[in-house]
Amino acid sequence: MEKIFYYAPTGDRLSNKSMATHWEHAIPAYRNAPHVWNVGGQDNVAVFLLDTGDGLILFDTGLNEEVFYLVIDRIWRAGFDPMDIKKIFLTHWHGDHSSCARLLHEMTGCEIWLSKRDEVEHQRFADSDFPMRVRPYTVTNFYEDENPVRMGNFEIRTRLVPGHTPGCTAFFFEDTDEETGKTYKVALHGGLGVNPMMKPERLAQDGYPEEQAHTFVRDCYELAKLPVDIALASHLNQANILPNIPKDPRDYSVFVADYAWGDVLINRADAVKEFYPEVYGK
C-alpha cells in the first residue's frame, strides 16, 4: 500500500508573508469524514466543520481575519449556514487558529472553547506579537477531559496534549456514514508543530519547562497506539493533504487511512527527540 499521508515540511508557501495574497492560496471546501468538512478555504490552517445534526461545531477558525470571507464562503459551499455554528473548539490559543473566533462569535453568538491552561497563555500574550498577533477573543467555555462534549449525534472527547503550547488539546469522536452504515474513529491532534518551539533554548526563552517537550514525546507515542481511521490535520502540510484533496469534494474515502495518525505522531515525537540528544541519544 502506498502511503500518501505523511508529515510534509513547508517552504515559504505557508509563511505569513505569502498569505498577504491569500486569494492565491485559496482551496475548495472538501469533506474529510462523513460529517466533517474542511472549510478553512486556504492551503495553510484547516477549519473543520462538524455537522452534528443539531447545529455546527468548528474546530479552529482560520489563519487570519483577512481570510474570514473564505471561511464563510466555504461553509455555504459545503451546504451549511454559518448562522448554525453553536460552538468553536480551539486546538490552542495561537492566532493562526483563533483569529476569526471573535468575528464568528459576534456573528452567531456561538461559544468559544479552549483549555484552561491555554487561556492562561492567551491572557499572558494577549497584547504582544508572540508568536504572532492574536486578534482579541473571549473564551466562554473550558474543556474538561473527564466530561466529553455531547451535541447532536456526536460525543467528543478531549485530551490535553502539552508541547506546542502548554494547553494544546486533542479531540476524538466517532462518525457514522448513514449511506454505508460504516462508523469511523476520527481524531485531531491540536499541536503538532514542533519547530523550533520545543528546542530547549526556545522553551526557556518563552518561560516553559523543558518537561513540556518530553511530555509531548511521551503523549505522541502513547496516542499513536490508538486506532484512528481518519486523522484530521490542523495544518495541511502535517499530513501532506494538498496533493490529495479529491476532485469530488464530497468523496472523503481517500482520507480513510488507518496508518496516518500513528505515522505522523511518531514522526513529530522523533523530531522533538532530536533536540535532546543527551536524553534520547543520537
Select from 22, 35, 74, 94 the one that contacts Zn ion (CB under 5 A): 94
Q: How far is the CB of 93 from Zn ion (least distance, A)?
A: 8
Grid cell, residue 43, equals 492551503
Q: How far is the CB of 20 from Zn ion (least distance, A)?
A: 20
State the binding string over 46-85 for Zn ion (x if CB under 5 A, else -): ----------------------------------------
| Segment near Zn ion (CB under 5 A); pick from 18-26, 90-98, 118-126, 136-144 | 90-98
Residue placing its CB nearer to Zn ion in the complex, 166 or 262? 166
105 binds Zn ion (CB under 5 A): no
| Segment near Zn ion (CB under 5 A); pick from 40-48, 55-63, 93-101, 270-278 | 93-101
273 binds Zn ion (CB under 5 A): no
Instruction: Give the CB-nearest residue to Zn ion.
Output: 94
| Segment near Zn ion (CB under 5 A); pick from 53-61, 89-97, 167-175, 218-226 | 89-97
122 binds Zn ion (CB under 5 A): no
31 binds Zn ion (CB under 5 A): no
22 binds Zn ion (CB under 5 A): no
Residue placing its CB nearer to Zn ion in the complex, 78 or 161? 161
Give the whole-angstrom CA distance, residue 147 versus residue 88.
Answer: 17
Binding site for Zn ion (CB under 5 A): 94
